Amino acid sequence: MIRYKLYQNKIEGSTAYNLWYARAVCDETYDTEALAKHMSSHNTPYSAGVIHGVLKDMIACIKELLLDGKNVKLDDLAIFSVGIKSKGATAVADFNVAENVTGLKLRARATGNLSTSTLRQDAVIKQLTKYSVSEGETVQE
């Protein structure tokens, strides 16, 4: 279940100023070890330790392939790639990697069973039961 909180845009001058929006909230994050334990509880002959080792090796290999300029597709999850953040140069001859490339970023594009359209069909969305949205105001389900 995807839980959300409401928040109000307070950016003056924005066309969305004072409008209310939903923001997804998460109450727990699984690390690799917790994911391995969870996976091992799904009637698999593999222990959490074996699964954890495979996941750690997979992560290392994905990093290696990404740093070699390749994309990595995990079917029904995402296509991972590296993006470049850069500042513009006035001319091709003026472009310098050290000055114009400001950073790299990991990109993950949903694919297959986790594509945006499929995710929307499968997800159950529910407002968080009780939380504060502004001073003195509480929203309840």
Looking at the chain, the number of H-run helices and the number of E-run strands are: 4, 8
Query: pLDDT grade, residue 15 (50/70/90)?
Result: very high
Residue extents of the structural domains in the chain: 1-28+123-141, 31-70, 71-110
Residue 36 CA to residue 39 CA, distance in Å, equals 5
Tokens 């690799």 identify what position?
32
70-91, pLDDT tens digit by residue? 999 999 999 999 999 999 999 9
In the beta sheet, which residues pair with residue 127? 4
